[in-house]
Amino acid sequence: MRTMLWVQAACCGGETTSLLNADQPLVDRALRLADARFLWHPYLQAADAPPLEETLARCASGAEPLDLLVVEGAVCRGPWASQGHRTLQRPLSEWADELAVAARYVVAVGTCASFGGVMVHGRNRPGMSGLQFTRDRPGGLLGEQYRSSGGLPVVNVPGCPAHPDWMIGTIVALLADRLRPEDLDRFHRPRLFYSRLAHHGCPRNEYYEFKSSAEQYSQQGCLFENLGCRGTQCDSDCNERLWLGRTGSCPRGGFPCVSCTSPGFPDRFEPFFETPKVGGIPTSLPLDVPKAWYVGISGLSKLACPPRLRRNAVSFTRGESAPEDPDDDGPANADG
Ligand code: SF4
Ligand code: SF4
């Protein structure tokens, strides 16, 4: 049976909460399919599991073979390395160093473990970092050259939190030795989950194409131009995979994507909920569109925008009639 160790460093517990929302498959079924068990997980280890430090020591020494080390949260490398909430005799950064040598594969779940995330925001006085990156700089706790005995760098599964499919899919693929170096992108994220944009599949795409934008939350239009949506700059499949019972995503719920899977999250995407502009042009443009093209295309798109879309973009409810427009081509319809 494969063995896994899931440890929490400096984190809010969001990845564990997200993992518990897994539905296709449920966590226990995924474990059975992968023939795996947790030697330790803060919520899911066996009731009679030995104390955490005893398990860490057995894994680090090789007495207990370790297939997968999963780390949730940023590691504190500052002068006191105080994370672990004083429950451990040694800083977790020291344990992680040793366990990464012993484990066949290492996974960083969530943006904090991957890149530092909210923990490295600002001046980062506690010296936080991700396991193998600090923001977009390779290095982190383990160093740029680190490779586990299975031949991979730390596999990053960022998100704030990460989608349960991203975590379970990655874990199951690693336990089956099915992930190869070429399956990872330059930030060590599995391409399977991070080669799309959060923008793809958003129901507001038609509004986006015609630059028909919401001006307030709860309106139907695209959230990019005025309300800070970064879906066109964010590597994830959130609008195709969907969350929480396969029903939602941030933009579907009326909330702008804040690019939480990116190495620069959160600093690089502030201010949230507004779109900084120069001369009326957003300063952060879609990843794959040159600025000159964007300016030309968006001007033409606005001119070509059907009145139905212009009207519905600023209406609050699907099918609700927004104020009449003299150029209107007919009644607002629920498909807008
Ligand atoms: S709301 Fe965001 S994700 Fe949706 S279409 Fe607009 S830019 Fe794309
Ligand atoms: S839509 Fe954007 S902010 Fe929301 S979970 Fe996905 S990547 Fe993160």
pLDDT at 122: 87
The string of DSSP letters for 186-232 reads TTS-BHHHHSSBTTTT-TTHHHHHTT-B-SSTT-SSBSHHHH---GG
3-state helix, strand, coil in the chain (%, to 5): 30, 15, 55
Ligand 2 atom with minimal separation from the 255 CA: 4
Q: Is 224 in the pocket of ligand 1 (CB under 6 A)?
A: yes
pTM of the model: 0.92
Task: Give me the helices (H) in 109-237, please.
Answer: 110-115, 164-175, 191-194, 205-209, 224-227
Ligand closest in space to the Cα of 220: 1
Report the relative pairing of strands 277-278 and 155-157 from DSSP bridges. unpaired
Ligand 1 atom with minimal separation from the 239 CA: 3
Give the Å distances, CA to CA, from 207 to 24, 26, 211, 257, 297: 31, 36, 6, 16, 14
Domains 2-193 and 205-313 are alike in CATH topology: no
110 DSSP β-pair partners = none
pLDDT at 14: 97
User: Ligand 1 test: best mutation among 229, 239, 261, 284, most atoms within 8 Å of CB?
Assistant: 229
pLDDT at 69: 98
Nearest CA to ligand 1 atom 6: 222
DSSP class of residue 154 equals P
Give the Å distances, CA to CA, from 88 to 130, 133, 318: 20, 24, 53
pLDDT at 77: 84
Q: Is 99 in the pocket of ligand 1 (CB under 6 A)?
A: no
Q: 227-241, pLDDT tens digit by residue? A: 999 999 999 999 999
pLDDT at 332: 40
Domain boundaries, the chain: 2-193, 205-313
Give the CATH class of 205-313.
few secondary structures
Nearest CA to ligand 1 atom 7: 224
Which residue ranges in the chain fall short of pLDDT 50?
329-336
User: Ligand 2 test: best mutation among 222, 223, 250, most atoms within 8 Å of CB?
Assistant: 250
CATH T-level fold of 2-193 = Rossmann fold (3.40.50)
What is the distance between the alpha carbons of residues 215 and 264, in angstroms, rounded to a whole number?
Answer: 26
Enter the tokens of residue 35.
């023939």
pLDDT at 166: 98
Ligand closest in space to the Cα of 231: 1
Rounded distance from Cα 240 to ligand 2 centre (Å):
12
